[in-house]
Structure 1
Amino acid sequence: MSAGLCAAAVTAALVTPAEARPDGVAQSAGSAGAATGAKLGWQLTDTGTDARFRGLAAVSRNTAWVAGSKGTVLRTGDGGRSWRNVSPPGAGELEFRDIEAFDGRRAVVLAIGEGEASRVFRTDDGGVSWSESFRNTDPKAFYDCLTFFDSRHGLAMSDPVDGKYRMLSTGDGGKSWKVLPNAGMPAAQPGEAGFAASGQCLVSSGARDVWLATGGAATARVLHSGDRGLTWTATQSTIPAGDPARGVFGLAFRDRHHGIAVGGDYRTGQASPRAAAITGDAGRSWRQAKTPPPAYRSGVAWLPHSRNAALAVGPEGTDLTMDGGRSWRTIDGGSYDTVDCTRDFGCWASGEKGRVARFGG
């Protein structure tokens, strides 16, 4: 499908009311879909595993990586028709929660946990081999998320150590890491932490801007740095906190100014009012979504080449906004933890029980 037709198909399928099915496959009668004979929506793929994939890196419509429980990393190069298990050897006891990929061969994956459970691995050959480039030795640190500004420069974030969030920095594509000084980091609130739920508690846009999402404290905040993590400012979001299970779980920025935050209360059956917020000033201020998603959402992504369309996902469904995050409507009932879209109109989602889906037909 050409890029132009694919864009029309995605737009038509999302704008046209869809039948939300509990198996996670939303079917639509969008005109572009009808023209190609495709049934458009989330199309589940067969990953051959029951791992929970909270880490997702979409490279293109055809290539994607997922990382999850039991030390599992999978890669596809054919749009999800087949998946290759490329898990690092001996990683079965680790919990991978974030992965960043530069192409079909180069990727960096983060394992979370206390002390030495927090590790970073890197591959240059599509997962045939991995090198462990970081292992945490501080028992007070717990790493949650990582992000890259480009193929060389990136950051990884730990929950507060001695009252401040800790940042790791790399300048060689994840081959080596160093702890950044914390003089420019604001003090953490009592009980505040990041959520390793979707790989989106630390996100970047452009060459220098990065944002950190928090929860668990009296207020849920978003921290912003414009100098690759050396100095930060903190702003209260509108998403409720006040409990260890509540706060901002995922962020997405389409440029350095316009961003969306999603979250809520991750506990099953708990209400999640005001589960989305938006900013137009790089996170200096946040506004509550007028019509937020109806439940907790952990992942969010802007649709490719769109100024106003984005998807939010969570264990209870997928929501779409067509007005930059001001209002949302549920378009699918399937369970997903995270979502990612690429410039060639590829959108992917992943979650529990080996679920990975691509938007398309």
Structure 2
Amino acid sequence: MKQLVLLAILVIFSFSCKKETKFIHRNISEIEISHILEDSLLNVRALEINEGRVVAASSRGEIYRSVLSYMKDFEVGNYWSVTEDSLKPSNFRSIAFQGDKTFTLSIGSPAKLFSDGWLVYYENHPKVFYDSMAFWNDQEGIAIGDPTTDCMSVIITRDGGGTWAKLPCDVLPKAKASEAAFAASDTNIAIVGDHTWVATGGKVSRVLYSPDRGKSWEVFNTPIVQGKETTGIYSIDFYDEQNGFAIGGDYTKPDENTANKIKTSDSGKTWQLVAENQNPGYRSCVQYVPNRGGKELVVVGFKGIDYSNDSGDTWKHLSDEGFYTIRFLNDSVAYAAGAGKISKITFRE
């Protein structure tokens, strides 16, 4: 009888304990780049992967879509505004693919936000310049831009992108003199659950933070290089609610590698400089490699592709091939875009 009781206890204990999955360290040593679409006039800074599709937007107002199984069969759609300047193409630097809808946002005045080609937001102001867009869920999304008054421009939708409203400055941190953002890779916004981080740049480079999908905000200082209109954070990403990374520098001095890489482990409240005086220099986009425990990061810019497997403390240069932006499909395959191309990148040990 005692043996049966002991056996029962062992069975219950074995089922109640979770099996621990060992994290296997790896070191990416090479990449394979396949150009999916090439065009000398192509200029893409906004690209997303969602629900089995790659969607990209160009500075000529073109939208590129493809099912991942057929990456060579890109569908090109030219979207136009329905306003009085409807014959002018839009310079898209922000894109979001949410559910069945593709949202695209142009940069300068007038700023035009489209939902599958239908104009859903329009803003005409001499200082209008939108930089990035992202969604929390199927109903709620956010886009950010440079200040038109004394705060960053933040527009939000709560109805699936049908309508957008600009937040008043009394609910946002006040912008500093010459503080703005960069429309370099559509990665000025990082979202994890309800948490949101927005990176600013220029003469002042800080991180705006909202814990509740844009309903309340605070702001944190950073030690990244700043002081000129071309300096600061160009890209930010978070692996989870605590751990984030940001990169930038000065695109007019792309080889400078001082104070251009920072990371946080406390939700962005404090930031530390990493890889000081080590390459890479200026880069326009950073992304955590998915499912790698926040250890692996990839950055891209017009000077090449770099990789870290120790949370950004050290880096390996993988290629001189230039890109503006990158998104991961899984831990070994990504899609990147830049001047003249959209490409598939495979990472290998």
Which of 200, 204, 219 is the matching residue for 1:214? 200
Name the structure 2 match of 1:70. 60
- List per-residue Cα deviations over 1:274-293 (Å, max 9, x = no partner): 22111111110111113554
**1:354 match: secondary structure:** strand
The alpha carbon displacement at 1:48 in A equals: 4.6
- Residue number in structure 1 paired with 2:165: 178
1:107 corresponds to: 102
2:114 corresponds to which residue? 121
Structure index of larger Rg: 2
- Alpha-carbon distance in structure 2 between the residues aligned to 1:145 and 1:341: 18
In structure 2, what is the equivalent of residue 229 of structure 1?
214
Task: Note the C-alpha offset of 1:79.
Answer: 5.2
Residues 264 and 295, structure 1, Cα contact 8 Å, conserved in 2 = yes
Counterpart amino acid of 1:151? D
* Larger RCO, structure (CA 8 Å, separation 6 or more): 1
Alignment TM-score, normalising by the size of structure 1: 0.81
After alignment, is 310-319 or 135-144 more displaced?
135-144
SS at match of 2:108: strand
Structure 1 residue ranges without an equivalent (≥5): 1-10, 19-25, 27-40, 124-129
Match of residue 84, structure 1, among 60, 63, 75: 75
**Equivalent in 26, 29, 43 of residue 17 of structure 1:** 29
The 2-side partners of 1:242 and 1:189 are apart by 11
TM score, norm. by length of structure 2: 0.84
The 2-side partners of 1:53 and 1:92 are apart by 18
Q: Could you tell me how far 1:268 is from its partner in structure 2?
A: 5.2
Q: What residue in structure 2 maps to residue 34 of structure 1?
A: none
The alignment yields a C-alpha RMSD, in angstroms, of 2.2
Which runs of 5 or more residues in structure 2 are unaligned? 1-24, 81-85
Q: Does residue 342 in structure 1 map to residue 329 in structure 2?
A: yes
Distance in 1 between residues matched to 2:122 and 2:329, nearest whole Å: 30
CA contact (8 A) 2:79 2:89 kept: no
User: How many residue pairs align between the two structures?
Assistant: 316
Q: Give the residue type in structure 1 aligned to 2:287.
A: A
| Distance apart, 1:203 and its partner CA | 2.3
Question: Residue 303 in 1 paired to residue 315 in 2?
Answer: no
- Which residue is 1:8 aligned to? none
Matches within 5 A, 1:132-147: 132-147=119-134
- 1:147-195 deviations in Å (ceiling 9; x for gaps): 1111211111121122111211101221110112322311111111010
Any conservation in 1 of the 2:254–2:282 contact (CA below 8 Å)? no
Change (3 A) 1:354 1:17: closer
The structure where strand makes up a greater share of residues is 2
Q: Which residue in 2 is equivalent to 1:38?
A: none
Deviation at 1:97, TM superposition (A): 0.3
Q: Which residue of 1 aligns with 2:46?
A: 55
- Tell me, in whole angstroms, the C-alpha distance in 2 between the residues paired with 1:205 and 1:335: 28
Alignment of 1:211-290 (within 5 A): 211-217=197-203, 219-267=204-252, 271-290=256-275
Task: Please name the residue that 1:7 is paired with.
Answer: none
Report if the CA contact (8 A) 2:332-2:347 is conserved.
no
Identity among equivalent positions (%) equals 27
CA distance in 2, matches of 1:201, 1:91: 29
The answer to whether the Cα contact below 8 Å between 2:142 and 2:154 also exists between their aligned partners in 1 is yes
